[in-house]
Amino acid sequence: MDAAAEHLANAGQERLILDAVDRFLERDVRPVVHALEAADTYPIAIVEKLKTLGLFGATIAPGFGGLGLAAVTYARIVERMSAVWMSVPGLFNSHLIMAAAVERNGTEEQKRRYLPRFAGGELRGGLALTEPDCGTDLQAISTRARREGDHYIVNGAKTWITNSAEGGILAVLVKTDPRAEPAHKGMSLLLIEKGPGFKVVRKLDKLGYRGIDTAELLFEDCRVPATNLVGTSEGRGLQQVLAGLELGRINVAARGAGLARACLEESLRYAQQRRTFGKPIAEHQAIQIKLADMATRVEAARLLVEHAARAYDAGGRCDLEAGMAKLYATEAALENSLEAMRIHGAYGYSKEFNIERYYRDAPLLAIGEGTNELQRIIIARELVKRNPA
């Protein structure tokens, strides 16, 4: 198949997938969002539909039962979902980061044992990095894994872990050598399935991003087979995590683009229906300026997300591109959610409408997968690295 024919085939496959996602969102998500979000109820029926669509294996290679989607297609799926309910792509984002860590760094035995189960959604989970006293500074984690024969004994606490209460496995960042200098050389990634010593302490009550489970965890003398160390040697955990976070940041950026778009679309509709001083508010210059800025943010965010996804698909590191997309798209979501509320006025503040949900959901995007302050530092460092004087 020549390049042009391959491009057309890929475009056709993407169109089929996106159409299926759109139908799923309209039929199975939009009608229940308000009730599920208000009750903070885990969307079991939606999870089952995601399994049917194969999205727990979206980026996992077909050889392991996944769809093997390019990051560009994956980002478009995430944007669409986030425009309806931002919590839905959260059900598989950290799950796919965990899967990517295994697929990129795991042994052949680990890949055969776990990836097909991940792809089908039979075994779901995520990434456990954050601790009560440590977030952005991952080298400061204190969860320890001590080797005893053919097992590791894990002790420590993790918090703000998505898919931990309802999932069955986590890729947990631990210290296997607390004395190592620099600290990252003593850090490893362990696949820990639920069992004795793995305790979900409590589900966290959040401002937004509701429905999806986010919990506090405790590991007390948790015995983990040594064969669950990702890769073949200790001390590679931080590098394995950071590589996976590129995909996570593209996901969060796509969520930002989707949420920013939802704010724009609802504001456009409302501004043409709501009348003041004898005409639709869309005809008032003050509102027109807001709509123009909102639309420009959406288009710029989409382009940055696509650029980052293409860089990821090219196979190299894309910290710069993912950082830029994550920074801009999530700030666009924040700004558009506030402008949408101002355009809707009191209706935007009411829980009967979607705007207040967008306003509550958006701030998480500026924090998750590395704060936007951290993204600025990453961007600056990468700029210097790529453009030496």
Catalytic residue positions, numbered = 369
DSSP state of 28: I
Using the CB atoms, write b or e for 83-101: b if 16+ within 10 Å: bbbbbbbbbbbbbbbbbbb
CA distance 46 to 349: 27
Q: How far is the CA of 152 from the CAs of 113, 216, 222, 241, in angstroms?
A: 19, 21, 8, 19
What is the C-alpha separation between 219 and 144, in angstroms, rounded? 9
**Element spanning 82, H or E:** helix 71-84
Please tell me whether residue 292 adopts helix, strand or coil conformation. helix
Give all strands (DSSP E) within the chain, no chain letters: 125-128, 144-148, 151-162, 169-175, 187-193, 198-203, 214-225, 275-276, 279-280
Question: What sign has the CA pseudo-torsion 171, 174, 177, 183?
Answer: positive
Residue 265, CB-side half-sphere exposure with 13 Å CA sphere: 12
Q: Which residues pair with 151 in a beta bridge?
A: 148, 225
Q: Which two tokens stand for residue 61?
A: 């290679």
Please state whether 97 falls in left (phi above 0), alpha (psi between -120 and 50) or beta: alpha
**Nearest-angstrom CA–CA distance, 290 and 331:** 15
Q: Is the dihedral of CA 288, 294, 297, 298 positive or negative?
A: negative
The gap from C-alpha 54 to its chain's centroid, in whole angstroms, comes to 17
26, 28, 34, 38: CA torsion to nearest 10: -150
Tokens describing residue 212: 């999806």
Exposed/middle/buried for residue 286 (C-beta within 10 Å: 0-12, 13-18, 19+): exposed
